Amino acid sequence: MPELWPNDLGPVICVVGARPNFMKMAPILRAFAAHQPAIPTLLLHTGQHYDRDMNDKLFEDLRLPHPDINLEVGSGSHAVQTAEVMRRFEPVLDEKKPSCVLVVGDVNSTLACTLVAVKKNIPVVHVEAGLRSYDRGMPEEINRVLTDQIADLLYTTERSAADNLAREGIAAERVRFVGNVMIDSLLNNREFARAPADSIAAVNADPALISSQQGYGVVTMHRPSNVDHADVLASLLGVLREISESIPLVFALHPRTKGNIERFGLQHLIDTPRMIMLPPQGYLEMLGLMAGARIVLTDSGGLQEETTALGVPCLTMRENTERPITVDQGTNTMVGRDIVAIRHHAAETLAGRGKSGRVPELWDGRTAERIAEDLATWLLARRNAAVN
């Protein structure tokens, strides 16, 4: 390794767009800055998420620097959002001449920026590659498949990802198993997690509700397949309300879900003091809430991993998961939208028969360091080959 980053090798443009990207990027930026030599970066925000709750609060909690560039695309249909990111990203590449573009996860911004960079012959690095739900009805699955197909370097979180990629004809040399950057963030921030009682008090709910011996559960739900149809949303809220009679549930409401509860006239289903409705939570609030919970019910990707790392039983209200290691080794159980299964597994968990699991290989808090080392070596070797 040289002592200084070569002048002729541009910065790494690190792309974030939506909430689940932020906790993945924070440790990467830190590891790139700490690397010897430091890897120069530019943080680019597409503006896919923009609310204080969905964005600014997480930036503060994760101590992310202010983005160097913000494309300010905002909300829109998938086509409009993706196209708008692409249109606005292209001139940035012309101006900044990066050595590569680094994308994380599976949101629309991930795919949009990948597509633009690859067509300009700029290498793309995908962190959290190779995850597959094999459900093409999920917009994220389309983003994953296409991003991995055209990106140059694929960093994976679990070994099954390499098999998925091999099945799609992706050469093994492009794939590197490094572990999970989400867990880097979790371990870095565990000591700063906020007390659950404070998060409850912030909405004027009675903290005594969750501090009794019976404890509390945490719910998040925002997948279009769960919240965009009135009957599905009503039946899920109905079973959650039933569970809340056994254990108070703290619900962190995504704007999509909140809007649909109002639009479909389902407020009566959540109108009980035992279902505590919170706005989207900051990272440190969510970490505190999850760590103290007896059960988590979710349709999120990230929470399946975080609960596995924390050893908290998780019921995932989806038909499939792109993160099978959380089921095979961790605390996750897939319950789909099956009311009977949700009721049964919740009762089992509350009776102390939830999954305990173990922490998967390389979910050790050092993934970002491994990525920094590997990427620096790769970029320098490419540059030297081009110069010589």
- What is the full DSSP assignment across 321-376? -S-THHHHTSSEEE-TT-HHHHHHHHHHIIIIIS----PPTT-SS-HHHHHHHHHH
Structure token pair of residue 123: 């290498």
Is the Cβ–Cβ distance between 313 and 296 less than 8 Å? yes
Structure token pair of residue 42: 């530019």
3-class secondary-structure state, position 15: strand
Structure token pair of residue 167: 């099945």
Give 299 or 369: the residue with its C-beta nearer to ligand UD1: 299
Q: How far is the CB of 53 from ligand UD1 (least distance, A)?
A: 7
Give 8 or 51: the residue with its C-beta nearer to ligand UD1: 51
Residues 40-79 that bind ligand UD1 (CB under 6 A): 48-51, 54-55, 75
For ligand UD1, which residue of 11, 19, 218, 333 counts as binding (CB under 6 A)? 19
From 35, 126, 222, 345, the catalytic residue: 222
Q: Point out which span in 3-11, 13-21, 333-341, 363-371 binds ligand UD1 (CB under 6 A).
A: 13-21
Give 215 or 255: the residue with its C-beta nearer to ligand UD1: 255
Residue 107 interacts with ligand UD1 (CB under 6 A): yes or no: yes
Is the Cβ–Cβ distance between 170 and 149 less than 8 Å? yes
Q: How far is the CB of 370 from ligand UD1 (least distance, A)?
A: 25
For ligand UD1, which residue of 24, 222, 355, 370 counts as binding (CB under 6 A)? 222
Residues 6 or more apart in contact with residue 334 via CB below 8 angstroms:
316, 318, 319, 320, 321, 327
The b/e string for 105-132 (b: 16+ C-beta within 10 A; e otherwise) is bbbbbbbbbbbbbbeeebbbbbbbbbbb
Q: Is 345 in the active site? A: no
Residue 176 interacts with ligand UD1 (CB under 6 A): yes or no: no
Q: How far is the CB of 75 from ligand UD1 (least distance, A)?
A: 4
Give 105 or 354: the residue with its C-beta nearer to ligand UD1: 105
Q: How far is the CB of 259 from ligand UD1 (least distance, A)?
A: 6
Is the Cβ–Cβ distance between 164 and 132 less than 8 Å? yes
Q: How far is the CB of 335 from ligand UD1 (least distance, A)?
A: 18
Is the Cβ–Cβ distance between 297 and 312 less than 8 Å? no
Give 54 or 230: the residue with its C-beta nearer to ligand UD1: 54
Backbone angles phi, psi at 386, to 5 degrees: -75, -35
Number of residues binding to ligand UD1, judged by CB under 6 A = 18
Active site residues: 222
Q: Which residues bind ligand UD1 (CB under 6 A)?
A: 18-20, 48-51, 54-55, 75, 107-108, 139-140, 222, 254-256
